[in-house]
Amino acid sequence: MQQLNDFLTNIDNHIGGAQWFSFLLIGTGLFFTLYLRFPQIRFFKHALRVVRGKYDIKGDEGDTTHFQALTTALSGTVGTGNIAGVAYAIFLGGPAALFWMLVTAMFGMTTKFVEVTLSHKYRVKTADGTMAGGPMYYMSRRLTQYRLFNRIKLGKFAQVMAIIFALSTILSSFGTGSLPQINSIAGSIFTTFSIKHWITGLVLAILLGLVIIGGIKRIAQVTSRLVPTMAILYFLGAILVIIYNYENIVPSFLSIFKDLFTGTAAVGGFLGANFAYAFNRGVNRGLFSNEAGQGSAPIAHASAKAHEPVSEGMVAILEPFIDTIIICTITGLVILSSGAWTHKYDNLFQVSDLQVMADTYDENNDSDKEKMSKHIAGQESLELFTGELDVVDGQIMNDLTIIHARSFAEDIMVMKGKEPFNGVVQVTSGNIDDQLGVISLKGASLIHSAPLTTEAFANSFLGTYGRYIVSIGILLFAFSTAISWSYYGDRAVTFLFGSKYVIYYHIVYVIGFFVASFTDTTIIWTFSGITIALMTIPNLFGILLLHREMKDTISKYWKDFNSEERVNN
C-alpha cells in the first residue's frame, strides 16, 4: 500500500499537486473574470431569479428544472470536500490554505458560468429521449471545427480531447464521487457509532444502486430534497461550534490572511507549512470542493429545461458561492476556532501517513522541531530508519522517533488484533514492512480529513453529540455526491460506448463504492487529486479556445432578453 501511495503521490505531484496546475486553474478563472467583466458579480442577482424559474418558458426541452439541475450539481460538489477536504487543506497548509480555497471559488464562479454555458449550448438528445451534455460534447461538436489562429483545424485533436475528458470523467467518478465519499462516511460512522466500515459500505452501496437505476429524474428528485436538508443541519451545528468558541473567531479569521505569502509557523502539534503547500493544497482542495473548471457540473446542467444556454450558465454561478464561499468558510472557522487542527488525538495510525526516523528528535527542542518541519515540507531530508523494531508488550524498545500525520507521534502501541504485539517489525527506508497486515499501530498524533472536523464539532455546547452532526452531515453530503457522480460517469460511458453499456458501469461503480469503505484514506485522496486534474486540464484548454464564442453568446442572450417579453416578468 505504501508503494502504491508513493507511486500515486509522484504522479499527483507532477499534475494536480504541481504549481503550474494551480496557476492554470486560477489563471483561467481570472482571465474570464476580466474578459467578461466580473460576471460573477454583475449577473449574481439575475442568476437568483433564473433559478427561481422567473424566466421559464413552457415547452423548454430538458429533463429537470433549473433548481433540480442546481441541486443535482450541488450534491455532486457539496460533499466530503466541504467537511473532509477543508480539514485536509488546513492540515497540510495551515489557515492560509483556506484563503486560497476561497480565491479559487471566487474565480471559479466565472469558470463554471463559462463551462456550463458552452456545454449546454452543444448538448444532444440521446436515443432514449434524455438530454446529454458536458465538455466532451462541445469538444466533439464545436472544437473539431475550430481553427487555431484561423488556420489550423483542430479536427481529430479536439476529438481526442473529448475522449480523454470522457475517460477521465469515468475515472473521476470513482476518484471524486465514489471512493473518497464512502471512505469518509465509513470513517466518520465508525468514529462516532463504532459501526464497522464494511457494514456501512454494504448498506449504502445497496441504497446507491437502488437510486441510480432510476436515472436522472429520480436522482434529481432525491438530491433536490437532500441538499437543502443537509445544508441547514450542517450550518446550524457549525454556528453552535463557532459561538461556543467566540473568543477565537477574530484570531481565527485573521490567521487565514496572516501568513499568506510566508506560510504558517509551527503551533501545537502542527509543525508548520510553507507558502507552496498552502497555495497548492488550498487551490487543489478548492477545486475538489466546488469542481469549477473540472467539467463535471455541466453534465448535470445539460439536463435542465432551457431554450438557450446562458440562463443555465447563470444558475451555475451560484454553485461555488454556496459550496465554497459559504459552507467551506464555515467549516474552516469551526476547525480554526476550536483549535482542533493543532491538537493530537488518540487514533489508529495509517501506514501511508507513517515515517520511522533513524534518530531521536525532541518536540520540545526548537532546533529538532525546525529540522522536522523542513523535512516534512521537503526542504531538508533527514535519515530514515532501516532495520528491525524490537517490540515488547506493544512498546517499541528502539530509541527513535516516529512521525505520523505530519506530527510527532506519542504513546505508541503496536497491536496484533486487540492484543499488544511481541516480536520484531521490519522497517525499510522509514516504511513498516507489514505486507500481511498482521499488526497495527495506534497512539496520539494530529488527525486530518473527516476525523478532524468531527473532533472540532465536539468542541461546542453539544459536546460529544457534535460528532453526530458531522457523521450525519457526511452521510448526507457524501452520499448525494456519490449519486450525482454516478450520473456523470454514465453520461461519459454513453458518449464513448453507447447507453447499453451504462448498466455495467453502474455495477462496477457500486462495487467500488463498497470496497472503498475499508480502504486507506490517504491513497483515496491521492488518487482523487490525479483524476480531478485529468478532467480539468482538457476542459480548461477547451473553454479558453472558445473565449470569443462565449462573449458573443452572452451578448446575444442579453439582446434577446431585452427585446422579448418574458413569461412571469
Q: pLDDT tens for residues 449-486?
A: 888 998 999 988 888 888 888 888 878 878 888 888 89
pLDDT score, position 437: 66
More confident residue, 411 or 22: 411
Q: How many domains does the chain have?
A: 2
pLDDT score, position 132: 86
Q: Coil, strand, or helix at residue 486?
A: helix
**Could you tell me if 259 and 365 lie in one domain?**
no
Q: Is the pLDDT of residue 141 over 90?
A: yes
CA distance 547 to 556: 15
**Could you tell me if 386 and 483 lie in one domain?**
no
**Could you tell me if 381 and 291 lie in one domain?**
no
**Could you tell me if 251 and 337 lie in one domain?**
yes
Q: pLDDT tens for residues 518-569?
A: 876 667 767 777 888 889 999 999 999 999 999 999 999 999 888 764 444 4
pLDDT score, position 264: 86
Q: Is the pLDDT of residue 67 over 50?
A: yes
Alpha-carbon distances, residue 550 vs 4, 114, 169, 397, 546 (angstroms): 42, 7, 23, 66, 6
Alpha-carbon distances, residue 167 vs 366, 410, 549 (angstroms): 49, 44, 26
- Would 365 be classed as within a structural domain? yes
- Would 411 be classed as within a structural domain? yes
Nearest to 130 by CA among 509, 503, 499, 482: 499
- The backbone torsions φ and ψ at residue 525, rounded to the nearest 5 degrees and listed phi first, read -65, -40
Over residues 349-359, the mean pLDDT reads 90
pLDDT score, position 568: 45
More confident residue, 109 or 52: 109
- Would 15 be classed as within a structural domain? no
pLDDT score, position 382: 95
Residue 141 belongs to what domain range? Answer: 58-343+456-560
- Would 461 be classed as within a structural domain? yes
pLDDT score, position 549: 95
CA distance 272 to 376: 9
Nearest to 271 by CA among 374, 384, 346: 374
- Would 495 be classed as within a structural domain? yes
CA distance 466 to 242: 12
Q: Are 324 and 89 in contact (CB under 8 A)?
A: no
Res. 140 pLDDT band, cuts 50 70 90: very high
**Could you tell me if 181 and 257 lie in one domain?**
yes
More confident residue, 364 or 563: 364
Which of 445, 470, 492 is the C-terminal boundary of a domain? Answer: 445
Q: Are 303 and 342 in contact (CB under 8 A)?
A: no
C-alpha cell, 148: 487555431
Over residues 45-55, the mean pLDDT reads 88
Which of 423, 445, 467 is the C-terminal boundary of a domain? Answer: 445
Alpha-carbon distances, residue 325 vs 52, 101, 318, 328, 418 (angstroms): 21, 8, 10, 6, 44
Which of 393, 410, 445 is the C-terminal boundary of a domain? Answer: 445
Q: pLDDT tens for residues 78-108?
A: 666 778 788 988 998 889 999 999 888 999 9
**Which of 76-90, 109-123, 263-277, 535-549 is predicted with the least confidence, judged by mean pLDDT?**
76-90
pLDDT score, position 569: 47
CATH number of the domain that residue 552 is part of: 1.20.1740.10
**Could you tell me if 137 and 266 lie in one domain?**
yes
Q: Is the pLDDT of residue 60 over 90?
A: no
pLDDT score, position 19: 78
Task: Determine what percent of the chain is predicted with pLDDT higher than 70.
Answer: 95
- Would 45 be classed as within a structural domain? no
**Could you tell me if 398 and 512 lie in one domain?**
no
**Could you tell me if 241 and 269 lie in one domain?**
yes
pLDDT score, position 436: 52
pLDDT score, position 222: 78
Q: Is the pLDDT of residue 198 over 90?
A: yes
- Would 20 be classed as within a structural domain? no
C-alpha cell, 273: 507549512
471, 348, 345, 175 alpha-carbon torsion, rounded to 10°: -50
**Across the chain, what does the average pLDDT equal?**
87
Q: pLDDT tens for residues 478-519?
A: 888 888 889 899 999 999 998 889 999 999 999 999 998 887
C-alpha cell, 229: 436538508
**Could you tell me if 430 and 410 lie in one domain?**
yes
Please report where in the chains the cell 459550496 appears, as a residue: 323
Q: Is the pLDDT of residue 52 over 80?
A: yes
**Could you tell me if 383 and 462 lie in one domain?**
no
pLDDT score, position 544: 96
- Would 471 be classed as within a structural domain? yes
Long-range contacts of 201-205, Cβ-Cβ distance < 8 Å, separation of 24 or more: 201/513, 201/514, 201/515, 201/516, 201/517, 201/518, 202/514, 202/517, 204/479, 204/513, 204/517, 205/510, 205/511, 205/513, 205/514, 205/517
Q: Is the pLDDT of residue 435 over 60?
A: no
Query: Left if phi > 0, otherwise alpha if psi is -120 to 50, otherwise beta: which for 213?
Result: alpha
CA distance 559 to 505: 43
Residue 205, amino acid: A
Sequential DSSP letters for 307-320? SSSHHHHHHHHHHH
C-alpha cell, 255: 490567521
**What would you report as the CA-atom Rg of the chain, rounded to the nearest whole angstrom?**
24
pTM here? 0.81
pLDDT score, position 84: 79
**Could you tell me if 336 and 364 lie in one domain?**
no
**Could you tell me if 279 and 308 lie in one domain?**
yes
